[in-house]
Amino acid sequence: MRVDKVMEFRVDRWVAKYKAISRAKRWGVRLGAALIVMIISWALLAAFVTYQADLADAWGVTEVADQLGIVSESVCAGNCQGCYCDSIINGTCYVNGNPSGCIGCVGVCTADDNCECRGGRGGCGARLAWCRDSDCRRREPPTPTTPPIPPTPTPLPPVCNDGVEYIHIEEPAASWYYEPDYPVAIQQDPQFRGFDIVIEAGGGYAEKRRSELEQLCRSGTGTYPADCPGGAWRWSCSDVMLEHYDDPLVKIELPMRLADSTVEWIDGYLASRYYNATRQEPLPRVFELWEGEAMNVSTGLFDYEAQDPGVHGGKILLFTKGTPLSEPQRRAYPYEVPVYLLDSTLIE
């Protein structure tokens, strides 16, 4: 009974071991077959990429082969230089029976730094002189470089009379107003107010200047390049003052007359409508308002008793002293003051 059990146990062990060995062999055969198929596939893929480069590129096979490491970039590059002779005797190349240099032909890159030339392919003859392996070296992708920033072109300068000196003369100026807003002829004015002409006047000046063309910093103040080295700048044509002289006022006059239309109205319409209607004021007349020497003057004609209705006007005359650079000036600024009648029936 014991012998039978022992024998049965041993048989079971032998069967289990045999099955394990059989399974291992089957897996080994399968792996070996797969490896052979892979090697053959890689070889066929490498051959296809090498000898049908254009078609492989078109189908995208070249990129796949390069990613798998089957071919290198040098193989994908395609052709390489070869050279052949009709015969080589003692290291000398012969072509058509005469010593000669070798004849060029085309080989194929099959690996990194390996050019393969074969007789009958690429124009190569049977006696190969050499194949240039350097044509098959891996080409590293070019290192991207940042293009240089082109220099900023220098802007054209503006039109400028650089270095030219000249004299600038500023004229005297005057402003004026009258009050009240509606002056009335004195004989009809219950307040006997008349009217005022208020004048504000200022003198002039003369300067010697020179035009200068400069390069100024765009940010802040200063000139280029001392104050803004390497910074942005702009052209500037400016006037530099070399000499300055005030030209003060010395006299202000106020000529006054009746407007031509007023004279025609009084001498014509009023005289025909009212007996003995004539002009009452001794105009034209010049009022000496101010005399002295000053740059700013406030003056005027005050409480003027206008007897004639109509427009009173003329020109405010300003006189200056002059400067070492300029002659005395005389400038005129027109003015007019309307004078009304209370009797509206006299208004045409």
The tens place of each residue's pLDDT in the chain, 348 residues long, gives 454 554 555 556 666 666 667 776 777 667 777 777 777 776 666 666 555 555 665 666 656 665 665 555 444 457 888 888 888 888 888 888 888 888 889 888 888 888 888 877 778 887 888 888 888 887 777 788 888 877 667 778 889 999 999 999 999 999 999 999 999 998 887 778 889 999 999 999 999 999 999 888 887 677 777 788 777 888 889 899 999 999 999 999 999 999 999 999 988 888 888 777 788 999 999 999 999 999 999 999 999 999 999 999 999 999 999 999 999 999 999 999 999 987 644 444
Report if residue 186 sits inside a domain. yes
Q: In what order do the strands lie in the sheet with 79-85?
A: 114-116, 103-111, 79-85, 127-131
Euclidean distance between CA atoms 275 and 308, whole angstroms: 16
- Does residue 86 sit in the same domain as residue 38? no
Q: β-strands 310-320, 330-339: how paired? A: antiparallel
- Does residue 266 sit in the same domain as residue 183? yes
Domain enclosing residue 176, as ranges: 169-206+246-346
- Does residue 19 sit in the same domain as residue 81? no
- Does residue 110 sit in the same domain as residue 24? no
- Does residue 76 sit in the same domain as residue 187? no
Report if residue 232 sits inside a domain. no
- Does residue 80 sit in the same domain as residue 26? no
Which tokens in the block code for residue 58?
Answer: 């078109």
- Does residue 125 sit in the same domain as residue 253? no
* Beta strand spans in the chain (E): 79-85, 87-89, 92-95, 98-99, 103-111, 114-116, 127-131, 165-170, 173-179, 195-202, 204-217, 233-247, 249-258, 285-294, 296-304, 310-320, 330-339
Euclidean distance between CA atoms 55 and 64, whole angstroms: 13
**Where does the chain have alpha helices with state H?**
2-51, 53-59, 61-68, 73-76, 260-264, 271-273
Report if residue 215 sits inside a domain. no
Structural domains in the chain (count): 3
- Does residue 275 sit in the same domain as residue 317? yes
Report if residue 238 sits inside a domain. no
At residue 91, the 3 state secondary structure works out as coil
- Does residue 173 sit in the same domain as residue 251? yes
Report if residue 160 sits inside a domain. no
At residue 39, the 3 state secondary structure works out as helix
- Does residue 182 sit in the same domain as residue 273? yes
pLDDT at 62: 58
The answer to whether 325 touches 208, Cβ cutoff 8 Å, is yes
- Does residue 256 sit in the same domain as residue 303? yes
Report if residue 67 sits inside a domain. no
Report if residue 156 sits inside a domain. no
Report if residue 239 sits inside a domain. no
